[in-house]
Amino acid sequence: MADVAYFTKEGLEKLKEELHYLKTEGRKKISAAIAEARDKGDLSENAEYDAAKEAQGLHETKIAQLGNVLANARLIDESKLDVSKVLALSIVKIKNVKNGATMTYQLVSENEADMKAGKISVKSPIAKGLLGKSVGEIAAIEVPAGKMEFEILDISR
């Protein structure tokens, strides 16, 4: 059984749009590339044709993977999230105990993770260390650079 992934409404819509694009426009582009390569002559010695067919295989694999994620996706009602502790989809403001730097992250599914937007995967070391903690608690988290301590300043949705 595949892993269940929890999504915001926005994240689920983005996933559906990407899958739709791959199934429609993406397939058309791949078909056009194959047809163009086929028109160039002998298929047994046609590297462009081989590359286009390989791209088609990778494209179909991606469609299958996204379809699987979508089939196991669950929408979370953000209005019902408990803000007394850190959960998936929580927006948490933390302070690095060592240097005093503050950061704000939203804990999201792997598919929605985007560091530039402040969204980290619930499967990341920092998110795992924050899950279940409450405001005022210190989370000691093992990261690749060593052990870090973060104080939880605020939890919202």
List all residues 6 or more positions away from 130 whose beta carbon is below 8 Å from its beta carbon: 86, 92, 94, 107, 139, 141, 150, 152
- Does one domain contain both 146 and 92? yes
Residues 91 and 31 in one domain: no
What pLDDT sits at residue 22? Answer: 94
Give the residue from 15, 45, 75 where a domain finishes. 75
Span 141-153, average pLDDT: 89
Q: Is the pLDDT of residue 1 over 50?
A: no
Instruction: Based on the fold, state whether residues 99 and 60 are members of the same structural domain.
Output: no
**Quick one: tokens of 144?**
């690749």
Same domain flag for 65 and 135:
no
Structural contact between residues 19 and 67, judged by C-beta atoms closer than 8 angstroms: yes
Same domain, 56 and 86: no
Residues 90 and 152 in one domain: yes
Q: Are residues 71 and 9 in the same domain?
A: yes
What's the number of domains the chain is made of?
2
Q: What is the pLDDT of residues 36-73, one digit of tens each?
A: 888 877 777 778 888 888 999 999 999 999 898 888 88
Range of the domain at 59: 5-75
- Are 53 and 70 part of one and the same domain? yes
Rounded to two decimals, the pTM is 0.61
Are 137 and 110 contained in the same domain?
yes
d(CA 73, CA 16): 11
Clarify whether residues 71 and 82 are in a common domain.
no
Tell whether 30 and 45 lie within a shared domain: yes
Distances (CA, A) of 80 to 53, 77, 90, 107: 47, 6, 11, 16
Q: Which residue has the higher pLDDT, 1 or 51?
A: 51
125 and 84 share one domain: yes
